[in-house]
Amino acid sequence: MTTVSTQFVPLTADDFRARLREALAIYVEAMRYPPGTAEQRAPMWLTHALRDGWRGFAALDADGRLLGIAYGYRGNPGQWWHEQVRRGLVRSGGEAAADHWLADYFELTEIHVHPRSQAHGIGENLLRRLLDGVPNRHVLLSTPEGPSRAWKLYRRVGFVDVLRDYHFAGDPRPFAILGRALPLEPPGGASVTPAGS
């Protein structure tokens, strides 16, 4: 359950740029990356904020400090992640599998909650708010292989295996590509009856 003092706010690209240092600090802490990673990632994150369909959400404490961040954008051919995943999907399942998942998708690029604030529902709240109203047919993400709170969250909201034990260029760790159809069901899996039905 989310802590009472947590606020969830949509981010404009300007908001995101203003909070970039704070967001990257959470990313480094949550992912247990070495010092210096934030400086390497900053230009990439700034470029992401210029992409088609970019949207972001932040979780803030009562004093306005960042507890968590989530962002993503429409995936398109020519983007590094898209091309890497397409290559892996074609190798493992053929062109049809790649076309199925990559024809119309939202890339959930980053979702991170500070370790001290994890296990309070913040990650799921960020994920649901970020994906609410996304017009794409699917959502895709990559996450390091191995048990984690993130894995439990993704399974809980219905993400399935798209590609497992995949190695991105330049990273020795195995990753899983997970995906699901949009929109998400409401929390608890209850179905929503459209008005007028």
Give the torsion through C-alpha atoms of 50, 52, 53, 56, to 10 deg.
Answer: -20
Catalytic residue, from 27, 71, 105, 154: name it.
154
Give the torsion through C-alpha atoms of 91, 96, 97, 99, to 10 deg.
Answer: 110
114/75 Cα distance (integer angstroms): 26
Question: What is the biggest distance separating any 2 CA atoms in the chain, rounded to whole angstroms?
Answer: 55
Please say if 166 is a catalytic residue. no
Phi, psi of 112 (to 5 degrees): -145, 140
CB 56 within 8 A of CB 70: yes
What H or E segment, with its residue span, contains residue 28? helix 20-31
Give burial (CB, 10 Å; 0-12/13-18/19+) of 22.
middle
Query: Which residues are annotated as catalytic?
Result: 154
